[in-house]
Amino acid sequence: MILQGFSLVRLWSNLATVAATWLAIAMPALAQSTLPDVQRIVFVGDSITCAGGYVASLEAAARVQFPYRKTEFINVGLPSETVSGLSEPGHAGGKFPRPDLHERLSRVLEQTKPNLVVACYGMNDGIYYPLGEERFAKFKSGIERLHQAVEQCGAKIIHLTPAYFDALPNKGKLLPAGLDEYPAQYVGYDDVLEHYANWLMSKRAEGWQVYDVHAAMKSAVLNRRKTEPEFTFSKDGVHPNAAGQAIMTRPLADAWGLKLDDNGLPVHPHGAEILKLITQKQQVLKLAWLSATRHVRPGIPAGLPVAQAEEKAAELDQQVHKLIATN
């Protein structure tokens, strides 16, 4: 009886240890399985973020699942932008160099006052050249400066790895390794982006929140090509279409427990209409905030004053709430 009692004590002790270990591993994931309870989330990035498909899908799903939350989603993605400060020779036909996030970052943070920043950079940061240590170092330094600046303003930051570069649409137009300059894209540029993505994912070991958009997109493309050899998400290899933007949504949507269908629509009878209204609202606010924070990239339409944009956004939000309440 004593031995049996001892065995039971040890069994329960072992089970308790296993349970404690599981909880230690699982709790961080469980803690992130719902939408962050914050007032404002600001998205920064290049033209892929500026296009806004994944940002709009995230907000649409959040509105459906958490209709009484007041979380604002502000997209200030800027086409052509880098976090590295690099620009290839003759960018945009020599009209202007690529804008550098750090030129406007302090204004964005001061004026938008985010509680959480979501950043997606990398596509432009290798400037479409083969992997180079100096360019890679500039990317890492730029990301670390961004991370530090956000934390210093009292907000948190989530990083998304770069989107997938698809060589297929530009087959025959891409350039091989070993050239001094690249007036066209390097044929193996996605290997560069994967290198950047792997470095970003390694920062999780330091407590960074990083989600792998690159792997999600690459996996989706390669799986489809098993049956559709010419499948692509992008006509130019860089900018994903709506279906590609929907794939970009998945890592963060999963982390936040947001439900979206395969087309990036919120799970609701009026999902398509809700997403359309959210997209309109984000466009109005995006142009307003881009103008207010004084970006330097030519060719971006001027936005309304922020106060007027917020009035229009509120009107669109009312339409969204009505649709959500109509099942």
The yes-or-no verdict on residue 183 having pLDDT over 80 is: yes
> Domain ranges in the chain?
35-325
* Closest residue by Cα to residue 193 from 223, 173, 175, 213: 213
Q: Say which CATH superfamily domain 35-325 falls into.
A: SGNH hydrolase (3.40.50.1110)
pTM for the full predicted model: 0.90
The yes-or-no verdict on residue 306 having pLDDT over 80 is: yes
CB of 129 closer than 8 Å to CB of 195? no
* Torsion (CA) 200, 262, 38, 155 in degrees, nearest 10: 20
Question: What residues contact 105, with CB distance under 8 A and at least 6 apart?
Answer: 44, 146, 149
| Amino acid (1-letter code) at residue 292 | A
Positive or negative: CA dihedral 231, 188, 159, 277: negative
Q: Using 50, 70 and 90 to split pLDDT, how confident is the model at 19? A: very low
171: burial class by Cβ within 10 Å (0-12, 13-18, 19+)? exposed
Say whether 281 sits in a helix, a strand or coil. helix
pLDDT digits (tens, 9 = 90+) for 199-253: 999 999 999 999 999 999 999 999 999 999 999 999 999 999 999 999 999 999 9
Q: Using 50, 70 and 90 to split pLDDT, how confident is the model at 34? A: confident
Say whether 52 sits in a helix, a strand or coil. coil
pLDDT digits (tens, 9 = 90+) for 121-162: 999 999 999 999 999 999 999 999 999 999 999 999 999 999
Residue 189 pLDDT = 98
CB of 158 closer than 8 Å to CB of 179? no
- CA 91 to CA 47: how far, in whole Å? 15
Average pLDDT rounded to a whole number, residues 244-271: 97
Q: How far is CA 9 from CA 13, 223, 256, 287, in A?
A: 6, 50, 39, 65
The yes-or-no verdict on residue 296 having pLDDT over 80 is: yes
Average pLDDT rounded to a whole number, residues 169-195: 97
Full DSSP string of 65-89: H-TT---EEEE---TT-BSS----T
14: burial class by Cβ within 10 Å (0-12, 13-18, 19+)? exposed
Residue 327 pLDDT = 75
CB of 323 closer than 8 Å to CB of 272? no
Average pLDDT rounded to a whole number, residues 299-312: 98
| Amino acid (1-letter code) at residue 34 | T
* Closest residue by Cα to residue 167 from 219, 123, 232, 116: 232
Q: How far is CA 214 from CA 91, 121, 206, in A?
A: 24, 11, 20
Q: Which residues of 227-259 are buried (b: 16+ CB within 10 A; e: fewer)?
A: eeeebbbbeebbbbeebbbbbbbbbbbebbebe
| pLDDT above 90 as % of the chain | 88
- CA 77 to CA 266: how far, in whole Å? 22
pLDDT digits (tens, 9 = 90+) for 57-88: 999 999 999 999 989 999 999 999 999 999 99
